[in-house]
Amino acid sequence: MVPQMIKTCALLFLTFGLASADTVVLSNGDRVSGVIVTTADGKVTVKTEFMGEVKIERKAIVAIEVEEPVVVTFEGGETVVGRVKTEEEHVNVIQEDGSKVTKPLAAFQAVRTSDYQRKWEREQKRATNPGWFDFWSLKADLGLASASGNARTTTVSSGTVLERVTGFDKTTLRFKQIYSTQQTKEPKGVTANAVTGSAKYERDFGQDLFVYGAGVFDFDEFQNLDLRSALGGGLGWHIIRRDRHSWDFGAGSNWNREKFSTGLIRNSAEANINEESSHELTKMLSFYQGFAIFPNLTDRGEYRFNARLGADLKINTHLSVTFRISDRFLSNPIEGNKKNDVLMSTGIQYTWAQQ
């Protein structure tokens, strides 16, 4: 019983990360050939040429054979590169020079292709000892709209997200702007001019909780806002944290300084309640949204909120078509200005990540 359990556990390790042509032998003598792509919920998934993905119960597997060289990891961190074949209670690793290494199944830790091994080692570094200049990713989008003839308008929008995610923290830098002009009727000139930049740092503690600090800086010509500086932090909760879906909630406080072109300067403390989520709906389509409300603690009854949502449709590995919409509300704008600013844009996004 114990040897069989050891064999089953070892076979589970053997199935992780394989990307070469493999053979799985079942207890009834049947053989399944293909590429072992994953193991989950007590099953091994084999990608075959004609049957697609086949899920096999681990307990039904009695042997695995890997034809291409892989990196085999044993207890104590020892690694051997070669072809793998299980045999009774042992696994043989045939190295490139023809020599054979035989180890008991119980000594195995993992088997991976060279590519998967590099990725695994990189993820180990991400989780334990990441360098500050490692693991950055970039998303930059640009939108342009122009009309001529009866209407003469031009709108340019852009945005950039620079993000670094490790096993225990996340750093995010954001920038976005929109600028629009019209030459159709008087008064001609600029009709929209807004810029936002932000920086946020999150540090995990425990499994699902994190602390964060953030700074947000806004300029909006048509709100007469020369500069809003909001600095603060708080406590957050990872409600959902999966490969394709995430949802975070946070609560804290800010110090908000607003300088207007009229000469008015307002300083206030404010609460900060926020949430954001992202969802990879398919391999090509992703969706995200966020909402934050800031009740004014100095001037009770006043508040502001920011809402945003967007979708990205992949064209290829690096390019996507984007749609963005955001709503900024200020309950006490300068006299003569509206409380809401809604911005919508579409464009092309370029994505890059360190490998």
CB 211, CB 205: distance < 8 Å:
yes
Q: Which residues of 217-251 are buried (b: 16+ CB within 10 A; e: fewer)?
A: ebbbeebbbbebebebbbebebeeeeeeebbbebe
Q: How far apart are CA 101 and CA 91, in angstroms?
A: 8
Of 272, 259, 152, 132, the residue nearest 214 (C-alpha): 272
Sign (positive or negative) of CA dihedral 22, 28, 30, 36: negative
Domains of the chain by start residue, with CATH: 2-128 (2.30.30.100), 136-353 (2.40.230.20)
Tokens of 188: 């001609």
Long-range contacts of 318-326 (CB under 8 A, 24+ apart): 318/350, 318/351, 318/352, 319/348, 319/349, 319/350, 319/351, 320/141, 320/348, 320/349, 320/351, 321/346, 321/347, 321/348, 321/349, 322/141, 322/143, 322/346, 322/347, 322/348, 322/349, 324/141, 324/157, 324/159
* Per-residue pLDDT, 39: 47
Report in angstroms the alpha-carbon separations of 26 from 87, 106, 280, 331, 334: 14, 20, 35, 68, 75
* Per-residue pLDDT, 42: 60
Numbers of helices and strands, H then E, in the chain: 2, 21
* Residue stretches of the chain with pLDDT short of 50: 1-2, 5-6, 8-20, 39-40
Tokens of 340: 């809401």
What is the distance of C-alpha 279 from the center of its chain? Answer: 9
User: The whole model's pTM is what?
Assistant: 0.76
Residue 88, helix vs strand vs coil: coil
Of 92, 95, 112, 87, the residue nearest 103 (C-alpha): 92
DSSP 333: P
Of 251, 194, 196, 198, the residue nearest 223 (C-alpha): 194
* Per-residue pLDDT, 183: 87
What does the H/E/C string look like for 185-227?
CCCCEEEEEEEEEEEEEEEEECCCEEEEEEEEEEEEHHHCEEE
Q: Counting every residue, how long is the chain?
A: 355
CB 209, CB 319: distance < 8 Å:
no
Residues 300/293/202/285 CA torsion (nearest 10 deg): 180
* Per-residue pLDDT, 163: 96
* Per-residue pLDDT, 108: 67
What is the distance of C-alpha 200 from the center of its chain? Answer: 15
* Per-residue pLDDT, 115: 78
* Per-residue pLDDT, 204: 95
Distance in Å from the first CA to the final CA of the chain: 43
